[in-house]
A = this chain, B = another copy of it.
């Protein structure tokens, strides 16, 4: 049933919304306790309200609970992170080595998020000249999930220091599924309004 009487968001809501954006963090330090029953389903339901090109809804969320699968992906992070460290020198290398860049051992919930390039949904609308719109639709959905989680006090960390093909293989992802993100999800150990990389002085380091 379509509704045509829209909600009005007042100044108090707008101020709280700005607070939400201000306190959303890319979380790498998680508590290990489980989320409440039904919470993931609720957040995925809000994610589903995201925009997508041609209404294609190409996101495929895989909730990864298997310890062997998680271990394969952690091993990929370890390799990639060592390679990344080797690219830096001097003070920046020392700074990089000190950063905690993922929470894959602690986060109780973890997801691989793929884009289904084989989907027929949307019939190609809006992506003839910009086919990357399909991937972008998945990024928009992840962004909404991230904010919806923060509303509930739940943190999200996006890990990209990975070999996408290793993740695909570990999860036996169908052909045509492109890895967009690995997400760690759980209650954060601390709250702050300042990005961790800013606090660490990553941009200013020599």
- A-to-B contact residues, CB < 8 Å: 2-9, 13-14, 16-24, 26, 46, 49-51, 53-55, 80, 83-84, 87-88, 92, 96, 101, 121-130, 132-133, 135-136, 139-140, 142-144, 146-148, 150-153, 158, 160-164, 180-181, 190-195, 197-199, 202-203
| CB<8 Å pairs between A and B, sample of 10 | A7-B16, A13-B16, A17-B46, A21-B148, A22-B49, A51-B158, A83-B128, A87-B124, A130-B164, A143-B143
A9-B16 CB under 8 A given contacts A21-B49, A54-B197, A164-B130: yes
A125 to B196, CA, bound (A): 13
Residues of B within 8 A of A148 (CB): 17-18, 21
